[in-house]
Structure 1
Amino acid sequence: MKSLTEQQKKMIKVGAPLLVLLLAAIIAMALLNKPTRAGIRPPMAEVAKWVEVVTVHREQVMPKVVARGLVSPAHKIDIKSRVEGEVINVSPKLIPGAQVKKGELLLAVEDADYQSALAKAKAELAQARADLHIEKGQQSVAYQEYQLIGEELPTAQRSLILRQPQLKSAEAQVASMQAAVNKAELNLTRTQIRAPFDGIIVDKSVDLGSSVSVNSSLLGLLASDEFWITVTLPPKQLQWIDIPTADSPLASKVNVVTSGGQQRQATVLRLIPELTSTTRQAQLLISLKDPLALTANKLAAAPAVMANEYVKAIIHGRPVDGLVALPRGAIRDGDKVWLMSDENRLAVRDVQILYRGAEQVYIGAGLTDGERVITSLMKTPVVGTLLKAITTNVDVGEGDDAVVSELDEVIES
């Protein structure tokens, strides 16, 4: 038998340890894969996820529509002169911002010429009346003479004999002179410019000694008893608002919020039958009485609302039955909600959102009384996940929230 060569001895020396290691690995794997005495390991128990839920129910809600708009005077006029002459009297109140009462004298134009014109017209009227009186006397004499003739004459001839044309002419002259007197009196009255309504002076164009002509601008005056607010909102939101018409006087109440955050009470007045040209929004006219708080109780400290002020209007909508109010955060992926089913598992459902509020949404269809809506967040929401509810004190039945128009959401964001 031949002895091993040096090379073979070297291979055996290197390969023997590797063979031992390979056998050890095979034995270890066999031991690990050997089943236990109890057989297959039991599955782990399913752990429920904690969530916050609210139980909803349908009831009557009173939505509020939020819109914004510009304040403008209900009545604003530019008072012009109806006569010509020199301004001889100016009221101390003829200052922009001053409050004036209806009938109060604001300024006066020199009236000497108009006094003379009135005196002349009255004199001419007196003369015309005298001429009429004389003519009536002459007509009486003509009638007596006609009776003496004792025969019937044609109508035209009889009219001439009885002086009827002369009588009509005298009567017309009296009427003409009376009209001249009336006009002279009117012009004399127009030399005194008085406030046509309670208001605020906004500007003036004349002063003491100014010469004015017919149609010269004298001053600007706006009514202080009422301002209008024109707000814009999506047309679909008009369905929640009471707008007075000839057949129905019902008008939604409005809270007007000033730029300083103070509030005033107003009412919806009219719907302007024209959409805005750019945004295609509906236009609603709101009436605010005593906007400058001139007649309000001083103790109430009602804030003044200025013309051309940009304000927010919270319009109280009409009551709507059978709606569900939910926190705004309960809406997922557009128009979906997460529900906790009767088996305490996660379910997802589409709902019909009639309108969205700043903090709440109002559901018309998709939910039934007694169902539990999840209001908290879930990291990995998977339909069928086991859930456990956390009791909350959220009352979603209160419909006291404000509907935010699409335009308003842009402004608020």
Structure 2
Amino acid sequence: MSAQRLVKVLAPIVVLLLCLLLAYQISQSQPPASKGRPSKANPLLVEVDKIAPRDFQVTVESYGVLKANTRTNLLSLVSGQVLKVSPAFQRGAFVQEGQVLLVIDPLEYEVSLQTARSDLANAELALAEEEARSEQALRDWRTQEKINSTPARDYALRYPQLKAAKAKLETAKAKLSLAQKNLERTKVRAPYDGRLIETFVNKGSVISTSTPVAELYSSESLELSLPIASRDLAFLDLPSSESYQDTSSSAYVRIENSLVVPAEYWQAMIVGTEALVDAENQQIYALAKIVKPLTSEKSERPVQALKVGQYLHANIQGKTIDEAILVPNSAIYQGTYVYVVEKIEKQDVLARREVNVRWRNEELSLIESGLNIGDLLVRTPLGQVTSGTRVAIDKRVEGAADKHQGESP
């Protein structure tokens, strides 16, 4: 047999032997299989809160646009030229009740007042003269009565003339009162404490009776119409009547003006509800009246006064729930279940609990059912975890549950 043929025969045999040797070495390098129980994975470290009931006052958040319930077009009740304008007679200025805003030329009305006084004096004189004539006529009739028994007639005693003189006197008094009133009206005054929205005249303007001179609103009539969701109605004490209520027994509202930093707050009271329900979302609207619009909670002179048309945030004080069970929203998954820690065979394991949420705000949920007093609520975000997963309670976290009885293995 030639050498070349021998190589062809032995080469496959050598390759096969090398493969078998390599497989044997790999099998010998594997660790020996454990003959005991499989080792358990490390338990999850979780933070928990022990469920404990407490009294909780519901606060319902809402919002609204500030509006003035009393808004007036201020009219001039006399005609003439505007001689003086108050420095406060400008848009956005605050005015006080009775404050003089404009002065109209009073000369014509001063003359009318003097004329009315003169007419009154003449009427008083005419009445006095007529009373004297009537008394004289009565004396004359009594003298004639002794001679004949003819009854006296009213005209003979000048009673109609006396009545006419008295009527003229009353007319003169009324004209004097009107003249005085017209003279007072030459000073255009603010009808109430409020704020000017717009002014329509200036110094030198000639105006006639019933000419609008300004538009203003009452600072004591600022209100918000606050939408209330149907789920929140059961937790609020709203007036049962559509009419305004005495604010002493109304729900307290805290109004926030976030246009300034730090935010400023005003107090308001629920004084009624609107007559109609919003057909689209079935919300009702509560009317909140600002208690002191010109004064915030902390300052008699706020950084920025409230403005009609301004968007404001409101927190409405609701009912107090006794023995309420509250859970952070972050601990509720898909709005329907939570995780709690239970002890099974001396081990702490996760358990999924379905819960019924009665009410919630941005941070907390009020639980109606599904949790019991003393349950250990898991606060650590878990995502999708299987019930029965072993856990270890992190007792280093301040505010965690009381020390769990027993130790986790």
How many angstroms does 1:296 deviate by?
A: 7.5
Contact 2:235 2:319 in 1 (8 A): yes
The answer on whether the counterparts of 2:260 and 2:303 sit within 8 Å (CA) in structure 1 is no
1:89 and 2:84 aligned = yes
Q: Offset of 1:96 from its aligned partner?
A: 1.9
- Which whole-Å CA distance do the structure 2 matches of 1:229 and 1:190 have between them? 35
Three-state SS of the structure 2 residue aligned to 1:62 is: strand
In the other structure, the counterpart of 1:347 is 351
Note the residue ranges of structure 2 that are not aligned, 5 or more in a row: 1-12, 14-33, 240-244, 402-409
Give the structure 2 partner of residue 53 of structure 1. Answer: 48
289-298 or 352-361: bigger deviation: 289-298
Distance 2:78 2:400 in 1: 70
In the superposition, relative to structure 1, how do residues 355 and 394 fare at CA in structure 2: closer, same or farther (>3 Å)?
farther
1:378 aligns with 2:382: yes
Corresponding residue to 1:362 among 349, 366, 371 = 366
Instruction: Assess, with a 3 A threshold, how the Cα gap between structure 1 residues 368 and 162 changes in structure 2: closer, same or farther.
Output: farther
User: Which stretch shifts more, 158-167 or 51-60?
Assistant: 158-167
1:118 to 113, 129, 141: 113
Letter in 2 for 1:340: V
Q: Which residue type is aligned with residue 282 of structure 1? A: I
Residue 61 (structure 1) shift: 0.9
Equivalence map 1:247-262=2 (5 Å): 249-261=249-261, 262=263
In terms of mean alpha carbon deviation, does 329-338 or 185-194 score higher? 329-338
**Alignment correspondent of 1:183:** 178
Q: C-alpha deviations, 1:269-315, integer Å up to 9, x for none?
A: 423323346544222333335545599757x8654333322121223
Map 1:46-195 onto structure 2 (within 5 A): 47=41, 48-73=43-68, 75-148=70-143, 149=145, 159-195=154-190
Q: Compute the displacement of 1:373 (Å).
A: 1.9
Gaps of 5+ in 1: 1-16, 18-39, 397-413
CA separation in 1, counterparts of 2:339 and 2:269? Answer: 39
- Report which stretch shifted further, 67-76 or 157-166: 157-166
The 3 A distance-change label for structure 1 pair 335 and 133 is farther
Backbone CA RMSD of aligned residues: 3.8
Q: Distance in 2 between matches of 1:368 and 1:237?
A: 24
Tell me the CA shift for residue 55 of structure 1. Answer: 1.0
Structure 1 equivalent of residue 307 of structure 2: 306
Residue 221 (1) aligns with residue 225 (2): no
**What is the CA-CA distance between 1:225 and the residue it aligns to?**
5.5
The answer for the alignment partner of 2:325 in structure 1 is 324
Q: Distance in 2 between matches of 1:359 and 1:239?
A: 20
**1:44 aligned onto 2:42:** no
Query: SS in structure 1 opposite 2:197?
Result: strand
- Distance in 2 (CA, whole Å) between partners of 1:294 and 1:191 is 36
Q: TM-score, normalised by structure 2?
A: 0.75
Question: Which sits farther off after the overlay, 132-141 or 220-229?
Answer: 220-229
Aligned mates of 2:236, 2:254 — CA distance in 1 = 10
3-state SS of paired residue (2:249): coil
Q: CA deviation at 1:218?
A: 0.7
Identity %: 24
- How far, CA to CA, are the matches of 1:365 and 1:133 in structure 2? 93
| CA shift digits 1:142-201 (9 cap, x unpaired) | 4334545279988xx755554433333222222122111111111111111122233333
Measured in 1, the distance between the counterparts of 2:194 and 2:247 equals: 32
The alpha carbon displacement at 1:379 in A equals: 4.8
Which amino acid letter does the alignment assign opposite residue 266 of structure 1? Q
Write the letter of the residue equivalent to 2:321. V
Distance 1:143 1:349, change over 3 A: farther
Q: Distance in 2 between matches of 1:250 and 1:92?
A: 40
Q: In 2, distance between residues paired with 1:368 and 1:180?
A: 83
SS of the equivalent of 1:169 reads: helix
CA distance in 2, matches of 1:200, 1:246: 25
Tell me which of the two structures has the higher relative contact order, counting C-alpha pairs closer than 8 angstroms and 6 or more residues apart: 1
Higher mean C-alpha displacement, 346-355 vs 180-189: 346-355
Total equivalences in the alignment: 362
Distance, in Å, in 1 between the alignment partners of 2:297 and 2:363 is 36
Q: Aligned letter for 1:263?
A: E
The answer for the alignment partner of 2:9 in structure 1 is: none
Please give the alpha-carbon distance, in whole angstroms, between the structure 2 residues aligned to 1:211 and 1:395: 78
**Greater mean deviation of Cα atoms: 71-80 or 245-254:** 245-254
1:382 CA displacement: 3.0
- Whether the aligned pair in 1 keeps the contact of 2:269 and 2:291 (CA below 8 Å) is no
Alpha-carbon separation, structure 1, partners of 2:103 and 2:258: 39
